[in-house]
């Protein structure tokens, strides 16, 4: 999939501004940005739900016709929505028939996304957000897409569900499916993405492989609470590879590679400063993301 110069304005607000994007076969491509960065609008344009003001899109080397349906491309934006009076199984069977697909795949997909028989036979109106996410993925996979566009797919899923979804996405990519997956949480997708595009205020602020992102990323950030924060802050200045700043009324935010951090903690102990709490608040890629998007450490 390739998109060139995609732009979309809503009144005076520029939702997406000149975005170039390329997703390779077999890649899991992260589309990362804070809320309101333009991720969903971009996905809507790619899925044909919204007409771009400017720019072009090509799937598999061809420009899609505005009047035609999606061929080899599937996905969803925001929380998937369905007909509340149909069961999950009926929904899948109807969409399978609509896509000219095969009904036997319904059971296979229900199993893949982790919707058991009881849940599948319940009306969708009673589904939780997580169950709708699972059904959304199953619906998207009905037509055996070669390109899958998923908008915040782990929203509403419990940790186990989110992990299962990531495993499923990884499996699809191994089968050659290109996956474009949006998220506002860099940490949640960094372990499965092979490439990322970071959006801020509708514009691409970083684009490249995950490998390059890691290489360019600054040190991870930690929150440090000690028995004497002022003294610890002063001590950090004399430690190469350690950058610290006060974080509110108490505690410090320390940016450092692991080895430098180990040395700093030992030095604190040697100075008689007790370390009361040390926790990672942003991995190196998250720190990079926050720096690029102007976000703040949680």
Partner 1 sequence: MSTTNGARWSAIRAVSRFETAKLLAQWPTRLLPLVCVLAPVAFGLVLRIQSGVPADTLFGVWVHTSGFAVPLVILSFAGAWGFPIIAGIVGGDMFASEDRLGTWKTLLTRSCGREEIFLGKALTAFAYTVAMVVLLAAGSMLAGVVATGTQPLVGLTGQTVSSGNAAALTVASWGIALLPALGFTALALLISALTRSSAAGMLGPLVVALAMQLLGLFGSGDIVRTLLLSTTLDAWNGLFAAPSYTRPLAWAALISLCYITACLEGAWLSLRRRDIAGTGSEERTWGRQLRVSGVAVAVVALLGVVSNLGPTSVTATKLAHSIESTFSNLAVLQQEDLGRHVPPGSHLGNGAVCSRRGVRDTQRGPGDDWLCSIYVPSKSLSQPTEVSYDVTVKPNGCYTAEGPESFIGPLTLHRPNGQTVLNPLFRFSSCFEVAP
Residues paired with residue 4 on neighbouring β-strands, in sequence order: 56
Q: Please answer whether residues 42 and 88 qualify as being in contact, where contact means their C-beta atoms are separated by less than 8 angstroms.
A: no
User: Among residue numbers 176 through 235, which ones bind partner 1 (CB under 8 A)?
Assistant: none
Minimum Å gap between C-beta 220 and partner 1 is 35
Instruction: Mention every residue, 6+ apart, whose C-beta is less than 8 A from residue 242.
Output: 236, 254, 255, 256, 260, 261, 263, 264
Minimum Å gap between C-beta 40 and partner 1 is 7
User: In terms of CB distance, is 84 or 208 closer to partner 1?
Assistant: 84
- Count residues near partner 1 (CB under 8 A): 39
Binding mask 261-290 for partner 1 (x = CB under 8 A): ------------------------------
Q: What are phi and psi of 135, to 5 degrees?
A: -65, -35
Residue range at the interface with partner 1 (CB under 8 A); choices 25-33, 139-147, 199-207, 245-253: 139-147
User: In terms of CB distance, is 104 or 159 closer to partner 1?
Assistant: 104
Minimum Å gap between C-beta 154 and partner 1 is 19
Ramachandran bin of 192, using left for φ above 0, alpha for ψ from -120 to 50, beta for the remaining angles? alpha
Report the half-sphere exposure of 57 (CA within 13 A, side-chain side).
Answer: 20
Q: Sheet containing 13-22: give its strands across.
A: 13-22, 2-10, 54-58
80 binding partner 1? (CB under 8 A)? yes
User: In terms of CB distance, is 137 or 219 closer to partner 1?
Assistant: 137
User: Among residue numbers 143 through 182, which ones bind partner 1 (CB under 8 A)?
Assistant: 143
69 binding partner 1? (CB under 8 A)? yes
**Residue reference for tokens 């924060």:** 229
123, burial (CB in 10 Å: exposed 0-12, middle 13-18, buried 19+)? middle
Q: Please answer whether residues 213 and 288 qualify as being in contact, where contact means their C-beta atoms are separated by less than 8 angstroms.
A: yes
Minimum Å gap between C-beta 24 and partner 1 is 22
CA distance 295 to 269: 32
114 binding partner 1? (CB under 8 A)? no
Binding mask 35-54 for partner 1 (x = CB under 8 A): -----xx--x--xxxxx---
Binding interface with partner 1 (CB under 8 A): 10, 40-41, 44, 47-51, 64-65, 67-71, 74-78, 80-86, 90, 94-95, 97-100, 136, 139-140, 143
């Amino acid at each position: 999939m390739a998109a060139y110069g995609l732009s979309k304005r809503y009144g005076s607000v520029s939702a997406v501004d000149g975005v170039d994007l390329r997703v390779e076969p077999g890649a899991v491509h992260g589309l990362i940005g804070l809320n309101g960065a333009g991720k969903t609008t971009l996905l809507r344009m790619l899925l044909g739900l919204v007409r771009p003001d400017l720019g072009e899109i090509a799937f598999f080397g061809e420009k899609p016709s505005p009047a035609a349906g999606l061929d080899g491309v599937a996905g969803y934006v925001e929380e998937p929505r369905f007909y509340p009076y149909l069961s999950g199984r009926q929904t899948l069977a109807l969409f399978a028939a609509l896509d000219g697909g095969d009904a036997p795949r319904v059971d296979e997909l229900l199993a893949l996304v982790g919707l058991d028989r009881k849940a599948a036979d319940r009306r969708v109106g009673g589904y939780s957000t997580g169950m709708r996410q699972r059904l959304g993925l199953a619906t998207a996979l009905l037509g055996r897409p070669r390109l899958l566009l998923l908008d915040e797919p782990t929203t509403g899923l419990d940790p186990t569900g989110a992990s299962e979804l990531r495993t499923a996405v990884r499996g699809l990519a191994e089968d050659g499916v290109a996956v474009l997956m949006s998220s506002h949480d860099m940490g949640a997708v960094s372990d499965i993405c092979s490439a990322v595009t970071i959006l801020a205020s509708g514009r691409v602020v970083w684009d490249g492989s995950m490998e390059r992102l890691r290489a360019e990323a600054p040190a991870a950030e930690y929150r440090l609470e000690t028995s004497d924060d002022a003294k610890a802050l002063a001590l950090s200045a004399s430690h190469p590879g350690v950058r610290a700043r006060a974080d509110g009324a108490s505690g410090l935010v320390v940016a450092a590679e692991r080895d430098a951090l180990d040395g700093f903690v030992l030095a604190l102990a040697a100075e008689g400063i007790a370390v009361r709490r040390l926790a990672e608040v942003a991995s190196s890629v998250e720190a990079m993301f926050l720096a690029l998007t102007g976000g703040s450490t949680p």
